[in-house]
Amino acid sequence: MSAVLATPLSATLHQQLWRELAVAADLRGHPWRTPSLATVSPDGLPDARTVVLREVDPDQERLVFFTDARSPKVAQLKAQPRGVLVMWSPELSWQLRIQVDCRVEASGLAVSSRWARLRSTPAAQDYLAPLPPGSPTDATPSGLAAREHFAVVQAQVLEMDWLELGAEGHRRARLTAGQPPVWLQP
Ligand SMILES: Cc1cc2nc3c(=O)[nH]c(=O)nc-3n(C[C@H](O)[C@H](O)[C@H](O)COP(=O)(O)O)c2cc1C
């Protein structure tokens, strides 16, 4: 049984979650900075991996990740853009599961502007490997790829499932974009 939140608490929870996401993107060591991103393979099988939350846009309700355009997750997201992010903060005792619709961009202004900031940092190496992520390395090619394979993943938030664990009892709410939050049985 669930009930719609009719009090200002509903707006507060929405705001608190977006504020915490914004802090996480800026703060190294914040547990929400490295969520698991679950996707579906073209075979319909589940897949998941850790990613770094790079940017948060609370107004557009959008999250940004960086990746190698050759990585399997990119092919998966192109075939099925829906994914789920899962994050847990022991400090807050908050779990957040976020349904997202992902758009992968490997060219254009969104990519070139971010690559311009990244290219002279050690992190640039991540996008200059000679082989695609996950390739066998029996015959390891030396050096760097001829060009970068940097891609930006724009994850549009569709729904958030928030769970708070508490000694006095747990709380859970579903926040769907454009709709009032709904309390859920934890
Ligand atoms: C702490 C941590 C952070 C990571 N951040 C990213 C990231 O931001 N982007 C990314 O593509 N891979 C990241 N990875 C590597 C992925 O988890 C994964 O191993 C790799 O991207 C290949 O995934 P795929 O085969 O599903 O495409 C990270 C791994 C760890 C352990």
Out of 50, 55, 154, mutate this one to test ligand 1's pocket (max ligand atoms within 8 Å of CB): namely 50
| Smallest CA separation from ligand 1 atom 6, residue | 51
Region 61-87: what's the mean pLDDT? 98
Residue 3 binned pLDDT confidence (cut-offs 50, 70, 90): very low
CA of 172 to the centre of ligand 1 (A): 29
Domains of the chain: 3-40+48-127+146-184 (2.30.110.10)
pLDDT above 50: residue 163: yes
The answer to whether the CB of 134 is under 6 A from ligand 1 is yes
Place of tokens 């940017």: 55
- Calculate mean pLDDT across residues 124-147: 82
Q: How far is the CA of 71 from the centre of ligand 1 (A)?
A: 9
Q: How confident is the model at residue 153 (pLDDT cuts 50, 70, 90)?
A: very high
Lowest mean pLDDT among 31-35, 114-118, 130-134, 178-182: 178-182
Is the distance from the beta carbon of residue 94 to the nearest atom of ligand 1 less than 6 Å? no
133 lines ligand 1 (CB under 6 A): yes
Rounded mean pLDDT, 83-98: 98
Q: How far is the CA of 133 from the centre of ligand 1 (A)?
A: 9
